[in-house]
Amino acid sequence: MKLITRETDYAVRALMCLANNQGMVMPVEKIVREIKLPHAFARRLIQVLAREGIVRSVKGKNGGCELAKNLDKIKLVDIMAIFQGDVCLNECLFKKNICPNRSTCPLRKKIRAIESLVLKELRSITLATLMH
Amino acid sequence: MKLITRETDYAVRALMCLANNQGMVMPVEKIVREIKLPHAFARRLIQVLAREGIVRSVKGKNGGCELAKNLDKIKLVDIMAIFQGDVCLNECLFKKNICPNRSTCPLRKKIRAIESLVLKELRSITLATLMH
DNA sequence: TTTAATGATACTATAATTGTATCATTTGTC
DNA sequence: GACAAATGATACAATTATAGTATCATTAAA
Ligand code: FES
Ligand code: FES
C-alpha cells in the first residue's frame, strides 16, 4: 500500500534538486545526472510540472527549468495530486446496500477521519520542510 | 490512492454477513446471495480467510463457515494485511543518496508519523465497531 | 544554420488488481 | 455405497495502474 508512487518520488527529488540551484535555470539533463532516474521519464515528468505551474521552463539553448514558486509554497500533497490524483482513502467500503444507516455509519466516519489526519499532515509538508 | 482494495472490501462485507448469522454455519453460496460479489472470487476469498484463521470452515454437506473469533478480535488492519500486505506508507521517498542525514531526515520522520497515525486509527476498527 | 534545450504526445512493458475455472476432498443423507 | 453439497488447493485469464520509452515539432542562443 503505497502512499506515494515512484513518479511522485522522482518529482520531489527533481524539485529538491532545483531548490539546490535556485536562481539558475537547470536543464533536465543536469537533473538526470544529479539524481538517478530514467532520462525520458524525467523529461515527461518535468514537462508535467511545467504545465502545472510548479516549475518555470525556458526553451531553446541554455534553457531548462527552475522553481516557479517559493519553497514553502510547493506542497507535497499538490505534487501527489498531480501524479496520483487527489488523496482519497476510499469513499465508502460498503458501497450502498450493505450499510443501512449511511449517514451515521461509524466506519464511514472513521475512514473520513483517517483521511483528514493524513491530509493535514501531508499539507504541512512543503519543499521548504524537505530542504530544512 | 486507495487505502483499501476491493478484495479487502469484499472480505469485510463477507465477515459482516457472517457476523449477522453468528452461531450458524453459512455456505459461501449464501454469502454471495446476500452481498453482491462474484461467486468464484468469494470462494477464494473465504478460503484465504479460513487459512488465516479468521473464519472456521466446515467441509461436506451442510458445511460452510462461521467467524472463528469474537467480533472485537477481528481488526480491519489484519484483514488488510492479509489481502494487501502490511500497512507501510513508503519507507523512504528518496532511497539513500539524496538525503545526507538519513537518521534525522525530517521527511522520513513525517512519513513515519503519518503511518503511525493511520495505523493507530486502523487498529481501533474491528468488526464489532463496524456492526456497532 | 547549427545546437541544445523544451512541448506535445503516442507508444510499450511490467506489475498489481480483479476475476474465472477446475479438480480433488470431505461429509451428511438416501 | 452412491449422490449431493459443501470446502481446499491451485492455476489461469483479464483488466487496470504504474513505470518507462521514443519521436517529432518548436524555440532560442551562438
Ligand atoms: S459502510 Fe458505507 S455507509 Fe456504512
Ligand atoms: S528522504 Fe529518505 S532519508 Fe531523507
Q: Of all nucleotides in the shown strands, which has a C1' nearest the CA of B25?
A: D6
**Structural domains in chain B?**
6-86+126-131 (1.10.10.10)
Q: Is A109 in the pocket of ligand 1 (CB under 6 A)?
A: no
* Distance D13 C1' – A5 CA (angstroms): 27
Query: Is residue B53's beta carbon less than 7 angstroms from any atom in nucleic acid strand D?
Result: no
Classify residue B64 by its DSSP letter.
E
pTM: predicted TM-score of the whole model, two decimal places: 0.88
- Where b means 16+ CB within 10 Å and e means fewer, B19-41 reads beeeeeebbbeebbebbebeeee
CA distances to B24, B50, B53, B128 from B56, rounded to whole Å, are 11, 6, 7, 18
Contact B65, B14 (CB under 8 A): no
Q: What is the reported pLDDT for A94? A: 61
Q: Which residue of B has its CA nearest to A120?
A: B114
Q: What is the reported pLDDT for A28? A: 97
Stretches where chain B sits below pLDDT 70 are 90-100, 102
- Rounded mean pLDDT of A84-92? 77
Give how far the C-alpha of residue B126 lies from the chain's centroid of Cα atoms, to the nearest Å. Answer: 10
Which one of A1, A89, A104 makes the best mutation probe of the B interface by having the most chain B beta carbons within 10 Å?
A: A1
Specify the amino acid at residue A62.
N
Give how far the C-alpha of residue A116 lies from the chain's centroid of Cα atoms, to the nearest Å. Answer: 17
Query: Is residue A47's beta carbon less than 7 angstroms from any atom in nucleic acid strand D?
Result: no
Tens digits of residue pLDDT in A89-101: 766 666 555 666 7
- Rounded mean pLDDT of A52-74? 97
Query: Is residue A84's beta carbon less than 7 angstroms from any atom in nucleic acid strand D?
Result: yes
B106 three-class SS: helix
Contact A125, A7 (CB under 8 A): no
